[in-house]
Chains A and B, each alone.
Chain A
Amino acid sequence: GQQVMQIPQYQHVQEGEDFTTYCNSSTTLSNIQWYKQRPGGHPVFLIQLVKSGEVKKQKRLTFQFGEAKKNSSLHITATQTTDVGTYFCAALGSSNTGKLIFGQGTTLQVKP
């Protein structure tokens, strides 16, 4: 079945450093969503990407969808302690089981 691989699993950065998490699939994706889960909290929707090569920004967060629609990335510029949490990608395959498949998540720790 379709799988979505997310790397790295963990990342520790110093406050002010940049951070990137990657989401990869062996199959073409119809769309991809990104969620953030704060420690002890629940996943919260951040953004959805649909178009090949799409780039969207939310303040210090930049989301990209690959040209081949098989990968995506989330980049945070100048991390802050408020960025701490686990970031999940969730994708719908173009072969379409009709279900979103979540990646394993990348847990970000930020040292002040």
Chain B
Amino acid sequence: DAGITQSPRYKITETGRQVTLMCHQTWSHSYMFWYRQDLGHGLRLIYYSAAADITDKGEVPDGYVVSRSKTENFPLTLESATRSQTSVYFCASSESMVGTQYFGPGTRLTVL
């Protein structure tokens, strides 16, 4: 049982490049979330999705795009990466908006 996986685990890119971070869950959870984690800021919600084809903004959505064509996948795209988007990105899934969240292992992204 893979649970929730993220790829890649590490990524280095350059300013202005497009980057897509992948998230896949095997539990058929309705809800999926993207967070970024930066020192001193804890976990900040970027986007979330309540079901396939339903997404909504979180606290820090600017510069990010999401899609959810299938329940199990929730990719996060940085359309034109900036240095301020250097961070650790966590994907999570849950049966409900306020239920227990199950986090993936994270993707460490560095934008040069």
Residues of A in contact with B (beta carbons under 8 Å apart)? 6, 9, 30-31, 33, 35, 41-45, 48, 88, 90, 92, 98-100, 102-105
Contact = CB atoms under 8 A, between A and B. Distances in A.
Nearest to A89: B42
Contact of B90 (A9, A31, A42): A42
B98 A88 contact: no
B92 to A, nearest CB: 8
B76 to A, nearest CB: 16
B100 A100 contact: no
A42 B45 contact: no
Given A43-B90, A44-B103, A99 B41 contact: no
B61 interface: no
A104 B44 CA distance: 9
A3 to B, nearest CB: 11
Interface string B32-76: 000100001111110010000000001000000000000000000
Contacts of B102: 45
Contacts of B106: 42
A48 B95 CA distance: 15
A6 B1 CA distance: 34
B105 A42 contact: yes
Contact of A88 (B40, B43, B105): B43
A100 B103 CA distance: 14
B101 interface: yes
Contacts of B42: 6, 88, 102-105
A88 to B, nearest CB: 6
B64 to A, nearest CB: 16
B45 A104 contact: no
10 contacts: A9-B40, A42-B103, A42-B106, A43-B90, A98-B98, A99-B48, A100-B45, A100-B101, A102-B43, A104-B42
Given A43-B90, A43-B103, 13 more contacts: A9-B40, A31-B98, A43-B43, A43-B92, A45-B101, A88-B42, A90-B43, A98-B98, A99-B45, A102-B42, A102-B43, A102-B45, A105-B43
Contacts of A98: 97-98
